[in-house]
Amino acid sequence: MIKAHSKYNVVHEPTIRQSLISVVILGLLLLFISISPAGAVVTDPEDIWTSEDIVQLDATVSSGMLTVQVTERNALDDFSFHFIEIFLNTDQDHNTGEARVGGVGGTDYRIECLTGMINMFDLHQLPTEDGGEEQTTSFPDIPGASAFVEGNRLTVNLPVNVLGGASAVDVFAVAHEGGNLYGIVGNCDRCPEAGYLDTSTGEAVVRRPGIPLDITFSDSEGDNQYNGQDLTAARFRTFGDQFQIILTLADPVEPLSLSYNLSGSVIMDSDRNLLTGFMGLGDDIPTWGGDVTLVYTVNYLTPMFNLSFGAGSDSFLLFGPPTSDGRWLVQGNRLIMTGSLSVFDARALYVNGGQEEVERRPTDGRMITSVSTSDNLLLSDIMPEGGSAFDTGMGDILDPLVWDPAIIISEDDPEEFGGVSGMDLIRVDVQVVENCLVVMGVLSKWDDTQVGNVFEILLDTDMNAATGEFVSNDQTSGQPAIGADYKVRVYSADEYTDVGYYADLERPNGVIEPHDAIVFARPSSLGPANFTVTIPLEAIGNPTPHIRLFVTTGAILAGRYDVAPPYPIIIHITPSCEGDFNNDGDVDGSDLAIFAADFGRTDCTDDCEGNFDGDGDVDGSDLAVFAADFGRTDCR
């Protein structure tokens, strides 16, 4: 699925150099650390681009009191408004605390500070469940709590008994503009630039570091459409626990101009897994799962940066304060967006017995992504094109899955419902490619305003009609039947301004998993119309050697209408070969030579062919996997 594209120039620094760069960056951050008798201190470079500029952060825990001091470049007691957020990891564990999408993972509390014309201070206990609410307490309601401003310094005192009795706390602070954001070239300053200030050691610490990377993809000038801006490069990098996106435009970015407008989005498959995410990426076939979309608008009046995580979360979350450390900056013809890696974490959803469960899937910066600009609702420039995607981990441009005429199975179905919209299947196409089962249901027509449709892909993975739900095609002589062990449901719903299309997988034990990224819907009132679903074989238990399926139409609360095709489609599935590196259908000496060349490597942030278990090296465990497949000639 990897292809060299002549249009795009990829700049990928060698892994060793990346590591050295990251070490130097973190080293420079640590140079700003000093330890004083009062506790931990970290200074921050002067950022003249923002009016809210932190120059020093002090924090200590002593005699049952957490004291945090934030010093800014400019006065905090003038006749304006200054917003400062102080994030606390009170158990110093990045696996606990904030569980909401778009938040900084590991943080347990946030102190919200407003100074200047008005002084207000609140403590927010962050939810430990996705969808939970913050518990907010004003400082006047906390015995022993206090906060005050002297010139350019804010001092906050908070008894640790309201923080779970913490004896040591990880702290970082964010200063930002609030209210109307017109007429600025950037927002939000973080101290330290990455990680936290540890009150127990006086050192900057990164609890959840990303994989060192710095990748730039280039794009031709002049390929934008309409009145949108022209992208010429996209750079992705990590430092410490931070992820940074740098977009380069053909023309200067001018947020101080009343007539200027830049808008677009960055879609990220942050855990490299189609089964998570809410938006499918690809061309004709869903290939990757977009977990989060960063939507940006840069202009004079209303610069906005939002995150979208799809169904089950707020439509748009702020990228940045008060809930996270997301920040942005304009420099010449570049737009720079930076935030904690955890802000972009994916999530897996499960519904078991009516109870929804959410599992956070951490990202390390190695994402699959695409970047675009827009003109209102019209796509102007996209990188890369043709449904391809960037791999920030390897520096590759990945091609999407495609239909292969050599392996596709296509079965027609008669029009049994007179071509009624959303009811009549006329063809089913199936193929197995790259360990995925791809199914397309073709309808005579399907109105793009129609809601309440339910389409099912019924999978008999053990070829036994006596297990799973018994489903027969009563329109066919002999009423052929299958036992549906797994069911994929595609349904349409009214989203007020448009129609949304969603997909669920129901397992044999009744657990339902939302997988909206696996479906592409292409309705058409004139017909024909279709929906295409990609099902990773691992999601249905890696069945072999055969499975069979029906595709059905129906409606919510109305049951099934059409069952297609007349007889179930039987698909032969060959177990995958991990070691078929050259994709010639076998694992032989040529593949052994490739594996041997990588054996012993420990720097697999770059491309290691033999790193089967994804642990960053090629060692004995990978050798065992390769040996198990060596000699096979039936690789799919």
Tokens of 583: 């994709």
Q: Is residue 181 within 8 Å of 319, Cβ to Cβ?
A: no
Give dist(CA 178, CA 184) in Å, integer.
11
- Give the model's pLDDT for residue 26: 44
Helix (H, G, I), strand (E, B) or coil at 188: coil
Q: Is residue 325 within 8 Å of 339, Cβ to Cβ?
A: yes
Residue 13 has pLDDT above 70, yes or no: no
What confidence tier does 527 reach under pLDDT thresholds 50, 70, 90?
A: confident
Give dist(CA 97, CA 77) in Å, integer.
32
- DSSP letter string over 320-348? STTTS--EEEEETTEEEEEEEGGGG-EEE
User: Which one has a higher pLDDT value, 156 or 598?
Assistant: 156
Average pLDDT on 312-325 reads 81
What confidence tier does 314 reach under pLDDT thresholds 50, 70, 90?
A: low
Residue 453 has pLDDT above 80, yes or no: yes
Q: How many CB atoms lie within 10 A of CB 466?
A: 8
pTM for the model stands at: 0.87
Structural domain spans, the chain: 32-205, 214-398, 409-572, 576-636
Which of 621, 620, 587, 619 has the alpha carbon at shortest distance from 602? 619
Distance spanning both ends of the chain, measured CA to CA: 14
409-572 adopts what CATH topology?
Immunoglobulin-like (2.60.40)
Q: Which of 397-406, 493-502, 567-576 has the highest mean pLDDT?
A: 397-406
Average pLDDT on 361-382 reads 95
pLDDT tens figures, 439-449: 999 999 999 99
Domain 214-398 has CATH 2.60.40: yes
Q: Is residue 59 within 8 Å of 67, Cβ to Cβ?
A: yes
Beta-bridged to residue 119, according to DSSP, are none
Residue 555 has pLDDT above 70, yes or no: yes
Domain 576-636 has CATH 1.10.1330.10: yes
214-398 and 409-572 agree in CATH topology: yes
- Position 282, amino acid: G
Which of 194, 280, 309, 299 has the alpha carbon at shortest distance from 503? 280
Q: How many CB atoms lie within 10 A of CB 572?
A: 12
- Position 548, amino acid: R
Q: How many CB atoms lie within 10 A of CB 7?
A: 14
Tokens 């050295």 appear where? Answer: 20
pLDDT tens figures, 263-298: 999 999 999 999 999 999 999 999 999 999 999 999
- Give the model's pLDDT for residue 22: 46
Average pLDDT on 29-38 reads 40
In percent, the amount of the chain with pLDDT more than 70 equals 91
DSSP 8-state code for residue 142? S
Residue 608 has pLDDT above 90, yes or no: no
Give dist(CA 563, CA 424) in Å, integer.
9
Give dist(CA 249, CA 231) in Å, integer.
5
Q: Phi/psi of residue 359, each to 5°?
A: -120, 125
What confidence tier does 17 reach under pLDDT thresholds 50, 70, 90?
A: very low
